[in-house]
Structure 1
C-alpha cells in the first residue's frame, strides 16, 4: 500500500507489535559468513517459512539511497546474495523459503507503475541538466571541477518484467540457491526447500506469496500452526497478513533510522548519509552500514484489535452474531479508503488527519445497526458500505474546514519562525561577514534558511553554534509527521562544523567529488520543494462551491455533464474498492480492470453505491495477464526502452511521430501537486493506455521475436529446490525429471506432506547433480550441486475462508486493558479530534466505551 504513514500509525497506536531482532555477528568459514553457533536456538523465535518480496531487496541493492552505487551488475548480484544470507541467518526457516520477484501486474497496478517510471526518467534528465549547470557555475567561479563519472547511470526502470536485467537476475538467484544448498553450513543444517517465482510468473511478488499461503492452508494436511515470516517494507503487507487469518504471522522489515543516528557509508561519520557527505570524516570508502531489522507481530496486532472491537460482542443483535475475524476483514477494507496501490484515496480521508481512528470509532458505533458486516471474505456488502459512507460524507465539509484552519495556523507559525530566524541572523552575524565557501557559495541565496558565518576562526563561536542549533530545529525533516520527500534535504556545510580558516592546500579529488555531489543534491531537493509556487486553487472546504471547483478543475467536467459524470465515477471507484478486496482475499479478479481517473470522488458522492452489483466476487471478467513485452510497452518511457531490451521495431513505435501509439509516450506531462508541496507528492498526469489498440499494433511484432526474446516474453513457471537428502522431494523430482527427459512433457508428479503440497514437472535445468555456472567473476561454479529442482505448480484453486483453522495454538496474550488505557497511544495523527468529529455527527459524546482510555482522551 502506497501509504508510508500507515506503518508509523501502527507503531504509535499498537506499540507492542514491534520488536527488535537479535542479530549475532557471523564468522567467516571457508570464505562464507555463517552464524557463530549453528546449533543454537533461532535467536528470533522459530519460523517454518520465510517469504521474500524480492523487489524490496533488488531495488536497494542495485541503487542504494544511502551508499555508493554498485559498479556493475555483478556487484549488484553480490549485494543481493549477501542481503539474502543475512535475512536467512536472522530468521532460520525450518521448512521453506519462498522468493517472489514481481511479474506482470494487473492493469489496475500498471497505471501506478507507469507514473513512477515516467517520473523517474524525468528526474534523471533533470539531474543531468542540473549537474551540467552546476559544473558551469563552478567553472565560472574558478573552482576545481570533479571528474566526470564514467559509464552510464543505472536505470532502475529495468527492474520490470521482461527486461534483460531481470532475466539475468533470475539466473543469478538460481546459482545462489545451488551454491548455498551445496556449500553453506547453515543451509546444509536447515535443509529447507526453496520456491523461486521469478519475473516471468505473472502477478506482484507479495500477491504471489499470499496466493501460495491461501492455497496451502486450504489443503487437508496443512499444519494450522505454521509459523510464517514475510520480509518486505510495504505497509500493505500488514493488511495482506491479516487477511490470511493465519494464527502465527510476522513481518520482517528494516528499521527506519533517524538521520542523527545514521552512519555515512562514504566517510563513516554519523549524523548524515552519503548524499550529504562533505568528505571530512574518516576515509572509509568500503564501509558498509547495515540497518537493523524489526519484526512486526500480527498476532499481537490481533490482540489489540480484539480488545478494541471487544465491546461489539455484547452489543451485536442475535440476527448478526459477533465475529472477530469478520471485524478484522472490515478493518482491512476501511484502510483501503486512506490509500492503496490501485486507487487514489478519498480527498477527505488522511491517516495524518486521524481518518483510521475516525473510521474505527464509527464502525464500532454503527455495526450493530447495519444488519451485516461490511465485507464477507472478499465480497463487498455495498448496502452496508453505503450506510458507512453516509456518515463519512456527512462530515466532509467540517473535515476540510478543519484542514484549512490547521494549514493556516501552520503557515503563521512558519512565518513567525522565519521572522525569528532572520532577527537572530541580524543580531548574530558580524558586520561584513562573508558566507561560507565550498558548496554554500554556489547557491547564491537559494536557501532561505542559510546563515552567515563569523569571518575569523578566533571569533566567539557560541553564537555560531546557537544559529546552527536553531537551524537544526527548523530543518527537522525526520519528524514522524513530516511530509518531507524520501530524498532528505541536504544540510549545507555550515550546519556541520564551525567556521574554519580559508583552505591553503588543494582539496583531493575525492573531497571535490563529494562536495559536488552534496551541492547537486541540494539543488535537486530545492527543485522538489515548490512551496507556494503551485498554490492550491481548489481550496476544498472554502466557500459554497468547493465540490464543483474540484470536479471542474481536476476532471474538466462541464456543469451540464456533472450529474452523469458523478454516476460514472461512483461506479468506477466502487468497482475499484470491490476489485481490491477480492484481490486481497481470493486472488486477482480481473487482469484488465483499472480505475480510469487520476483522482477520487468525495465520500458523499459515493452514496447510492448500494444499488450497484459489483460487490459480488464473480462480478469481474478475469481476462488474461499481459505478456512481459506488452507490459514494458505500457509502463516504460522511451528513454528506458533500449536499456530494458525492448526490440528495435517496438522501440520505434515509442518514438516515431507518425506511430499509431505515439500518444502513449508524451515528451512532457503534467504534475499536479493537488494541494501538496513537493513534486514527489504530485499526481502524474499521463494518458491511460488503450489496451485493445496496444495489443493489436504489437501482435505482428511479437510474432517475429527472436528465440532469446521469446524466452523473456513468456509466462513462466515457479521452480522448487531442495537438498538431495530431502527424500520425499527427491523421489518426486527424479520421477518428474525422468518423464521430462523421456519426452513426456506435461506429466506431473504430486508432492504432498506437511511442508508442501503441489505438482512437479521436469525442466531443462532440473533433476540432481547439476553443474551451475557462476554469474560473478571470481565466484566458483557449482560443479556438482547438492540441490535438486523441478517446475512447481500450485494445487487446485479453492476459496479462501476468513477463519482461524481448527487445532491452532494461540500465542501468549501480551496486550491487556492497561495497554489500551495508555494515553500515549493516541498522540499524534489527529486521532482525538477526528474521533470527536464523528461522535458529534452521531449525536454522542463518545463516553460509552469499555476502556477508560476514551475518558482519558476526553480530558486531554
Structure 2
C-alpha cells in the first residue's frame, strides 16, 4: 500500500517490532595456488535467527525492480545479467529465511482497475523522465564532443549515451515478463536439482499470467490454506517485500506467527542531511547517482551488502492489543476485530487505490488522530467498525465526523508549521549569505574575482555526485529568468493571483520551471570557451544534483530538513522506482527550486538567488477553503454541495472495496475511484443510506492492461498492431495517451509527489478499439495475452513425487487432475493437474543464450512440475484465530505496556481531540464529544443523546426505539445492551457504573438496585444496571441514564442531579 513513511512511523512508534536479520555469508578460503574458493552457505543448518520458518512468500516485483534497474550502481548490461541478478538476490533472501516447507514466488499479474489508475500515472511519468534523461545525456555528449573536450572528459565509446532501459517492461504481457516467467521456472528447477537444502521444499510460482497483484495472490493462498481442516494454525510465515501494505496484509490474515522481511533502507540514516544510499552529504536519496566511478587503473571496491530486518507482526499485535483496548468498553473486547478496525483506519492515510484525505498525513500522526477518535467513540458506537472485511457505515460515519470537527485545526496547524519551517530556513539562508559576504570581502582584499552570482568564478568544478564544486567558472545564474518573458509585471500584480484558475496554476508552474532550465542550458551551451563550461556544469544541469556550496539558482538550497524529508518520502519504496515511485535519477523540473507549499504558479516576486515558491491558491488554512478546493481541483461550482456528496460516496465505495480486497479478495475487477482528489471529512453524510454492491466483473487481458496503463513512448512493450491506436490522429482513443500532461504538486514539495492529471480510461471504448486488432496478432503474441495458472514444483526426491508420478505418468495413470493428500504434501492443500510442457527426466536449459558459468544447462532435470489450484475458501474468511494456536512468551514488558497505554490516552489529540471542558478550559480532563452537536444528539431532536429525544437514536436508551436500554440500534432491544454473551449478561452486581470523566466521584450504585442490569433484555429493569430503564440506568429512559433525557443523565444535562434534560452532556 502506498503509504509513504508508514514503515518508519511504525518502527519508531512500536520499536520492538523490528529486529536485525542474522545472516550467514559464504566464506572464502585460500587455495595452494593463491586463488580463493567460496564455500556457500548450508541452509540445512538451523536458522541463525533462532526461529524456524515454514513458509516464505516473495512479492517478486520488489526483487525484479531493484535488480533490473538499480539506483545505487550501474544497471545490468543485458537481460541475461538481469536474470542472474534476480537469481542471486532471491537466493540470498531464501537463505536468510530458510523455509522448511514451502516457497511461493508471486509476480504481479493483471491488476484490478482500481490499481490500474495508479499504475498508469507511474508509467506515464516514468516514460517521461526516461525520455528527458536520454535527451539530456545525448545532448550533453554531443555538446562536449563539439566543444573539443578530450575523450577522457567526454566519455569514451563505452560511455556514449545508451537508451535507458524502460522499467515499464515490468508489466504483464510484455516479452520481458514472458522471459522472467521462464527464467524463474528454470532457476527453481536448477536449485531443486543441485541444492540439497531445497530437497524438501515445495515451490509455487504465480507468474504474470495469473491475474492479481503479487502480494494479494499470496494472501489468497494463505486464506485458502486456513480454510483447510488440516491447516496447522502454528505455521510460521515470512513474507518478503518492500511495500508497507505487507504489514497490513500480515495482520489481516489473523495468523499470529507472521513476519515481514525487507531491506533495512534506513541503515545509512546515521548522519543527518546525508543521502541514505551513498551516505554522502549535499544531495537527496532520490537524486543519488551512486558512488563515484573508480579512476583508470583503480579497482572498484565491492560495496557491502545491504542489511535486512524483520518486522514481527506478532509483536505489533501485542502493541495494538494495548493501544486498542478502551477502559470500561461496554462490550467484550475482541482483539481480532480491533485489529481489523486499525487496518481500516490506516487506509485513510494512504493506499494504492484512493488519494488520502486532505486532513490526514502520516507525518502529522494522522493514524493517531483516527485512533483517538475511535477510542473516544467506541463506547457509543456499540461495536466495531468492521467485521470480516465488511464495514458498518453508520459507525464509520462517526469516525469521519470526529475528523471533520478537527479539519480546520489541522489545516491551520499545518500552515503554522510550514511558516515556522520557512522562517527557520530563511534564517539559515541569511546566516549563510552573511558568511559568504564576509568570505567575499576577505577574498576581495586578496584580489580574487567574483561574478554576478557572488561566487568565485575560478573555483568551480564537478564533484563526485555530478554536482558543482570549486575549480571551474560558474555562469551568471542570477541573470536567468524564472518565468516566461513579459510575465514579471503581471505576476507581481495581486489581481493576477486572484484570477488564476487551477489549470493556470499548474500550467504556469510547469512552463516557468521549463523556462528556467532551458535558459540555464542555453547560457551554458553558448559559451565559446570550453574552459568556461566544462563537463561538470552540464552534468550538474542534466543529472540534477548539486554539492553543498553550489549556487542556489541551480537546484535550490537543499537544507538539512529538506534532505531528511525527501529521504523519508523516497524510502517508503526506495528500491522500486518503476513500481511505486517514478525513477528519479534526474532532476524534477518542478523540484529545482525548494520547498513547495502547494500546487500553483511560481512566485513572480522572488529575488535573485532565492528559492522559487509556487503560490497556494487553495489556502486550506483560510476560510472558504472548501469552495476553493472544489472549484480549482474538480472544476465545479463552489456551491454544488451535491457534487461533494457524490465524490464522498465514491470514496466510501472505495474504502469498502479496499477493505474487502484485503480481507476477502478482489470484490470487483472493474470498480475504480473516478477522481484525482479526495473529499473532505466533512463531506461524508448519511453514509449508511447508500448500500454497497460490487459487480465482480472480470480482469483485463494482459494487452488490455498494457493499453490501459502504458504511454505511447513505451509502445515497444505492446504488439505493433496496437501502436496506431496510441499515435494516429484517426484513432478513436488517441486522447488516452497524451505526450505532455500536467502535474499538480497539490501541497507537496517535489514533482514526483504530485498528482499526474491524466484522463481516465473509458473501458468500453478501449476494449472496442482493441477488438478490431486482435485477429492480427501472431501466435506467440496471442500466447502472451492468455491467462495462466500457478505452477507447483518439487524435487523428484520429495514424497509427493511418487504419488504424482503414479497418477500422471505410470501405466496405472489416473485422471488429469486430483486432490492433494495433505499427509503426503506435508500440509499443502489444493488440487493439481498435469503440466503439458513438463517431461519427466528431460534436460534443463537456461532460457537465454549464455556465456556465464554459474547457472548452466543440466542433462537431467530432477524436479517435477504440475499446475496448482488453491482450494476454495468456501464462504467468508473469518477474522478470528484458529483453534490450537500456541502463543510465544510476550515480548512487551510491564514498562512497554504502561508506556503504550499512556501514549494511547493522549496521542492524536493535538487538533481538537484534546481533553476538553467548558469554555475552553482543559483542566478537568474531559474529552470532546465528537458525536453530539448543538443541543444534544447528532441529527437528533432531543436534548440528551446521540440521535434521539433522550438517548442514542431512541427515546430512552442507546439504541432502543421501543423502550429504554443500551441496546444497539439494529437490535431494537426493549431495554438492553444488545446481544451480549451469556456469561456477561447475568453479571449485574459485578459491573458498576463506569468512572465519570474529569475526576468526579464515582456514581453510587447500591447493590440491591443492580438487578440484572447488564443484560437488559427485559423491559423496565429495576433501577439500573447497564441497561436499566429506571432511575439510574446506564442507558435508561426515565430518570437519568447514560444518554437519558431527564434528571441526572450522564449525557442528559446534569450529573446525578435534578437539573433537567440539559444540552447533551459529555460522553465518556
How does the TM-score come out when normalised to structure 1? 0.84
| Matched residue, 1:351 | 362
| Deviation of the 1:31 alpha carbon | 8.6
| Matched residue, 1:785 | 861
- 1:98 touches 1:195 (CA, 8 Å); kept in 2? yes
C-alpha RMSD over aligned residues: 3.5
Given candidates 64, 67, 70, the residue that maps to 1:58 is: 64
Q: Distance in 1 between matches of 2:222 and 2:908?
A: 39
Given candidates 570, 574, 582, the residue that maps to 2:648 is: 570
- 1:538 touches 1:546 (CA, 8 Å); kept in 2? no
Alignment map for 1:389-468 (pairs within 5 Å)? 389-429=400-440, 430-431=443-444, 432=448, 433=456, 434-438=458-462, 440=468, 441=472, 444=475
| Matched residue, 1:771 | 843
| Matched residue, 2:887 | 810
- 1:230-277 residue CA offsets vs partner (Å, 9 max, x unmatched): 001111011111000102000000001455779xxxxx9864797153
Q: Distance in 2 between matches of 1:166 and 1:825?
A: 50
- 1:250 touches 1:296 (CA, 8 Å); kept in 2? yes
| Matched residue, 1:496 | none
Secondary structure of the 1:95 match is strand
| Matched residue, 2:505 | none
- 1:488-518 residue CA offsets vs partner (Å, 9 max, x unmatched): 99xxxxxxxxxxxxxxxxxxxxxxxxxxxxx
| Matched residue, 1:35 | 41
- Does residue 82 of the first structure (1) align with residue 91 of the second (2)? no
Given candidates 914, 917, 938, the residue that maps to 1:839 is: 914
- Does residue 11 of the first structure (1) align with residue 11 of the second (2)? yes
- 1:534-574 residue CA offsets vs partner (Å, 9 max, x unmatched): 625344433321100000000000246x1231221121100
Secondary structure of the 2:743 match is strand
Indicate how the Cα distance of structure 1 residues 624 and 740 shifts in structure 2: closer, same or farther if over 3 A, else same: farther
Secondary structure of the 1:838 match is coil
- Does residue 612 of the first structure (1) align with residue 636 of the second (2)? no
Q: Distance in 2 between matches of 1:569 and 1:122?
A: 30
| Deviation of the 1:767 alpha carbon | 5.7
| Deviation of the 1:405 alpha carbon | 1.1
Q: Distance in 2 between matches of 1:695 and 1:103?
A: 19
| Structure with greater helix percent | 1
| Matched residue, 2:259 | 250
Indicate how the Cα distance of structure 1 residues 648 and 340 shifts in structure 2: closer, same or farther if over 3 A, else same: same
| Matched residue, 2:248 | 239
- Does residue 621 of the first structure (1) align with residue 695 of the second (2)? yes
| Matched residue, 2:564 | 479
Q: Distance in 1 between matches of 2:572 and 2:871?
A: 43
| Deviation of the 1:368 alpha carbon | 1.4
- 1:355 touches 1:834 (CA, 8 Å); kept in 2? no
- 1:398 touches 1:541 (CA, 8 Å); kept in 2? no
- 2:371 touches 2:908 (CA, 8 Å); kept in 1? no
- 1:167-223 residue CA offsets vs partner (Å, 9 max, x unmatched): 0110001010011001123223xx210000000000000000001001101110000
- 1:674-703 residue CA offsets vs partner (Å, 9 max, x unmatched): 111210111000000000111112123224
Q: Distance in 2 between matches of 1:572 and 1:252?
A: 35
Q: Which runs of 5+ in 2 are unaligned?
A: 30-35, 272-276, 449-455, 480-546, 575-583, 603-612, 928-993, 1000-1068
| Stretch deviating more after TM superposition (132-141 or 346-355) | 132-141
| Deviation of the 1:770 alpha carbon | 3.1
- 1:751 touches 1:759 (CA, 8 Å); kept in 2? no
- Does residue 723 of the first structure (1) align with residue 795 of the second (2)? yes
Indicate how the Cα distance of structure 1 residues 289 and 732 shifts in structure 2: closer, same or farther if over 3 A, else same: same
Q: Distance in 2 between matches of 1:37 and 1:261?
A: 32
Q: Which runs of 5+ in 1 are unaligned?
A: 263-267, 449-464, 490-518, 856-860
Given candidates 797, 800, 805, the residue that maps to 2:877 is: 800
Q: Distance in 1 between matches of 2:245 and 2:317?
A: 16
Indicate how the Cα distance of structure 1 residues 691 and 107 shifts in structure 2: closer, same or farther if over 3 A, else same: same
- 1:416-455 residue CA offsets vs partner (Å, 9 max, x unmatched): 110111111222352224332235258636699xxxxxxx
Q: Distance in 1 between matches of 2:375 and 2:650?
A: 28
- 1:261 touches 1:271 (CA, 8 Å); kept in 2? no
Secondary structure of the 2:793 match is strand
Secondary structure of the 2:644 match is helix
| Matched residue, 1:537 | 616
| Matched residue, 1:498 | none
Given candidates 628, 637, 643, the residue that maps to 1:558 is: 637
- 1:639-691 residue CA offsets vs partner (Å, 9 max, x unmatched): 1111x1x2222111111011011011111111000111210111000000000
| Stretch deviating more after TM superposition (757-766 or 252-261) | 252-261
| Deviation of the 1:22 alpha carbon | 0.4
- 2:721 touches 2:776 (CA, 8 Å); kept in 1? no
| Matched residue, 1:582 | 660
- 1:244 touches 1:585 (CA, 8 Å); kept in 2? yes
Given candidates 319, 326, 341, the residue that maps to 1:304 is: 319
- Does residue 218 of the first structure (1) align with residue 242 of the second (2)? no
Q: Distance in 2 between matches of 1:158 and 1:669?
A: 21
| Deviation of the 1:124 alpha carbon | 1.1
Indicate how the Cα distance of structure 1 residues 751 and 478 shifts in structure 2: closer, same or farther if over 3 A, else same: farther
Q: Distance in 2 between matches of 1:153 and 1:339?
A: 31
Given candidates 675, 679, 686, the residue that maps to 2:747 is: 675
- 1:751 touches 1:760 (CA, 8 Å); kept in 2? no
Q: Distance in 2 between matches of 1:487 and 1:47?
A: 26
| Deviation of the 1:40 alpha carbon | 3.7
- Does residue 112 of the first structure (1) align with residue 118 of the second (2)? yes
| Deviation of the 1:38 alpha carbon | 4.0
Q: Distance in 2 between matches of 1:227 and 1:842?
A: 49
Given candidates 886, 896, 907, the residue that maps to 1:819 is: 896
Q: Distance in 2 between matches of 1:530 and 1:477?
A: 8
- 1:32-60 residue CA offsets vs partner (Å, 9 max, x unmatched): 86215743444352100000000000000
- Does residue 275 of the first structure (1) align with residue 351 of the second (2)? no
- 1:139 touches 1:145 (CA, 8 Å); kept in 2? yes
Q: Distance in 2 between matches of 1:275 and 1:741?
A: 59
| Matched residue, 1:701 | 773
Secondary structure of the 2:772 match is helix
- 1:306 touches 1:324 (CA, 8 Å); kept in 2? yes
| Deviation of the 1:151 alpha carbon | 4.5
- 1:47 touches 1:91 (CA, 8 Å); kept in 2? yes
Q: Distance in 1 between matches of 2:402 and 2:812?
A: 61
Q: Distance in 2 between matches of 1:414 and 1:356?
A: 28
Indicate how the Cα distance of structure 1 residues 141 and 848 shifts in structure 2: closer, same or farther if over 3 A, else same: farther
Indicate how the Cα distance of structure 1 residues 413 and 622 shifts in structure 2: closer, same or farther if over 3 A, else same: same
Q: Distance in 2 between matches of 1:98 and 1:808?
A: 23
Q: Distance in 2 between matches of 1:376 and 1:447?
A: 61
Q: Distance in 2 between matches of 1:610 and 1:818?
A: 42
Indicate how the Cα distance of structure 1 residues 338 and 526 shifts in structure 2: closer, same or farther if over 3 A, else same: closer
Indicate how the Cα distance of structure 1 residues 578 and 484 shifts in structure 2: closer, same or farther if over 3 A, else same: closer
Q: Distance in 1 between matches of 2:133 and 2:924?
A: 52
Q: Distance in 2 between matches of 1:761 and 1:309?
A: 46
- 2:112 touches 2:668 (CA, 8 Å); kept in 1? yes
| Deviation of the 1:820 alpha carbon | 4.2
Q: Distance in 2 between matches of 1:109 and 1:316?
A: 38
Indicate how the Cα distance of structure 1 residues 683 and 740 shifts in structure 2: closer, same or farther if over 3 A, else same: farther
- Does residue 384 of the first structure (1) align with residue 395 of the second (2)? yes
Q: For this pair of structures, how many residues does the alignment match? A: 784
Q: Distance in 2 between matches of 1:542 and 1:593?
A: 34
Q: Distance in 1 between matches of 2:772 and 2:662?
A: 36
| Stretch deviating more after TM superposition (76-85 or 605-614) | 605-614
- 1:463-507 residue CA offsets vs partner (Å, 9 max, x unmatched): xx9989x99993466536866656999xxxxxxxxxxxxxxxxxx
How does the TM-score come out when normalised to structure 2? 0.69
Q: Distance in 1 between matches of 2:225 and 2:561?
A: 47
